[in-house]
Amino acid sequence: MPTSDMKMNETIIQLTETERRGMEQLIDQLPPIDVHRIPADHLRHVMKVANDQFPASIRERIQQFQRNPNRKGFIKLTNVPVDSSLPPTQKMPNQQQISIHTEANTHCS
């Protein structure tokens, strides 16, 4: 069940359909980027601009997590859209396959 308030022990945040649509719009607005050829300072700028355009509810929950991480040290965002041009995530030996098209993890270090 989607929630707008992240509890201290919450590790899974499911995006609402409105949040998902906001993320899809953001992805559609991003220019094509070759991360292997783009200068690092330009990539950081593009990432900062994209972060500033995240739906406010998602940005707030991630910032709250960064200030007060849970004991597990991560949150899992589900119902996240992913650019269809990304290749599938490779499966490592003895590792469960994770679908890049349905989930993303944010780790706090």
What is the reported pLDDT for 20? 92
pLDDT of 49 > 80? The answer is yes
Q: Where are the domains of the chain?
A: 12-107
SS (H, E, C) the chain: CCCCCCCCCCCEEECCHHHHHHHHHHHHHCCCCCCCCCCHHHHHHHHHHHHHCCCHHHHHHHHHHHHCCCCCCEEEEECCCCCCCCCCCCCCCCCCCCCCCCEEEEECC
> pLDDT tens-digit profile of 52-108?
888 888 888 888 888 988 888 888 889 988 777 778 877 777 766 555 444 455 555
- Mean pLDDT in residue range 22-47: 85
What is the reported pLDDT for 101? 45
pLDDT of 46 > 50? The answer is yes
